[in-house]
Amino acid sequence: ARDAALAEIASASTPDAVASMTTRFAGKKGELAGLKKRLGSLDSIDEKKAAGAAINEAMAAVDAALDEQRSALNAAALAAQVENERLDLTEYVGKPTRGKAHLVTQAWERLEDVFVGLGFQVAEGPEVETDWHNFEALNMGEGHPARGEFDTLFVDHVPPGGAPGSTVLRTHTSPVQIRTMLEKEPPIYIVAPGRVFRRDTPDATHMPVFHQIEGLVIDRNISMADLAGTIQAFTTAFFGKDWNSRLRPDYFPFTEPSAEFDIQRPDGSWIELGGCGMVHPNVLRAGGIDPEEWSGFAFGFGIDRMALMRHGVDDLRAMYADDLRFTSQF
Ligand code: PHE
């Protein structure tokens, strides 16, 4: 009984098992205590003495084995816990990878910086516009042929008092000209970067969602020369001192005269950038400004192509694929 008990104790693998063995082998009603009670049934004193001594020795051995197994298991449990909670403060985790602003965001913010440096304030307007702000107030009345050049996306929403089809996703940032004029007294010097929408199939140079920045200046005695000078100041500030700009005659209903503006790389090649011109008197009037007292110029150009141009990439789709191998280069 003693050896069987010792073997079983040595194999106990949990503190609970040791506890139940303690009751079974060493408790008051345990197996050894049971043997002791039966000592009385032995015949001779000598036999009783010998058996009693053997039982006492077995009890001591069982107690010692239980103690030993208990402390061995406790030590193992403690060691496991220490290993589990171990913090290696010398472990090298590596540098956290840094996120990056999207190329368009980078260009957008740099444009704002450059124009703020030239004395402009930043304005904004809603992406969902009324037909009036997007077309009508910009001298493109109902049926104006220039409307056809903006592949307009219409929003299925009829404003109170409005007509069906009079809510659009803005096709350019020019409606911000109107909103700014209605909101502020001249002199006005603002740029308005923003998202614009046209019904286009995505390809290397077109996206149905893209970005423009609008500029508007209204002050006394503003002339075409101020426009040309501002475009040139912007060109050198944004691209570098070896870059140049020029205006070429063009047509927009909301400016008169109107021009296209190009910039010239240091190697002499020209890039078409955007449209501009003197704000049309009808547009000033729609914005609540008296054309007899004030004059101004406006310009607008795309941000997306410029963001790519700086890095020599020529496919817009690369910029919107959100492939980190592309994005993380810039
Ligand atoms: N809104 C015009 C466009 O999207 C650009 C422009 C802005 C032209 C301001 C003249 C003045 O093409």
Quote the ipTM score.
0.98
Q: Is the pLDDT of residue 128 over 90?
A: yes
pTM of the model: 0.72
Substitution site in 144, 172, 273, 282 for ligand 1 pocket (most atoms within 8 Å of beta carbon): 172
Beta bridge partners of 245: 263
pLDDT tens per residue, range 49-90: 888 888 888 888 888 888 888 888 899 889 999 988 888 888
CA dist 135 and 131 (Å) reads 6
> Which single residue is written with the structure tokens 């400016």?
255
Q: Please, which pLDDT band fits residue 46 given cuts at 50, 70 and 90?
A: confident
Residue located nearest, by CA, to atom 10 of ligand 1: 276
pLDDT confidence of residue 54: 85
Residue 323 burial (10 A CB sphere; 0-12, 13-18, 19+): exposed
- Termini Cα distance of the chain: 80
Q: Is the pLDDT of residue 168 over 80?
A: yes
Residue located nearest, by CA, to atom 8 of ligand 1: 275
Closest-lying ligand 1 atom to the alpha carbon of residue 275: 8
CA dist 168 and 154 (Å) reads 4
Closest-lying ligand 1 atom to the alpha carbon of residue 212: 4
> For 292-319, what is the mean pLDDT?
91
Least confident of 150-154, 158-162, 182-186: 158-162
16-30, 55-69, 110-124 — which one is most confidently predicted on average? 110-124
Q: Ligand 1 mean position to 52 CA, how many Å?
A: 112
| 119 Rama class: left (phi>0) / alpha (psi -120 to 50) / beta | left
**Kind and range of the H or E run holding 213:** strand 209-219
Q: Please, which pLDDT band fits residue 211 given cuts at 50, 70 and 90?
A: very high
Q: Ligand 1 mean position to 158 CA, how many Å?
A: 27
Q: Is the pLDDT of residue 187 over 90?
A: yes
Q: Ligand 1 mean position to 49 CA, how many Å?
A: 117
| 108 Rama class: left (phi>0) / alpha (psi -120 to 50) / beta | alpha
Tell me the C-alpha to C-alpha distance, in Å, between residue 4 and each of 18, 61, 65, 232.
Answer: 15, 12, 12, 101
Residue located nearest, by CA, to atom 4 of ligand 1: 172
Q: Ligand 1 mean position to 255 CA, how many Å?
A: 9
Pairing assessment for the beta strands 128-130 and 209-219 based on DSSP bridges: unpaired
Asked if 57 and 64 touch (Cβ cutoff 8 Å), the reply is no
Among candidate residues 109, 129, 233, the one with its CA nearest the CA of residue 171 = 129
**195 vs 59 pLDDT, higher one:** 195
Asked if 202 and 317 touch (Cβ cutoff 8 Å), the reply is yes
CB-defined site of ligand 1, < 6 Å: 172, 174, 214, 252, 255, 274-277, 298-300
Q: Ligand 1 mean position to 220 CA, how many Å?
A: 22
Asked if 303 and 111 touch (Cβ cutoff 8 Å), the reply is yes
pLDDT confidence of residue 42: 81
Q: Is 109 annotated as a binding residue?
A: no
Q: Is the pLDDT of residue 178 over 80?
A: yes
> For 44-49, what is the mean pLDDT?
85
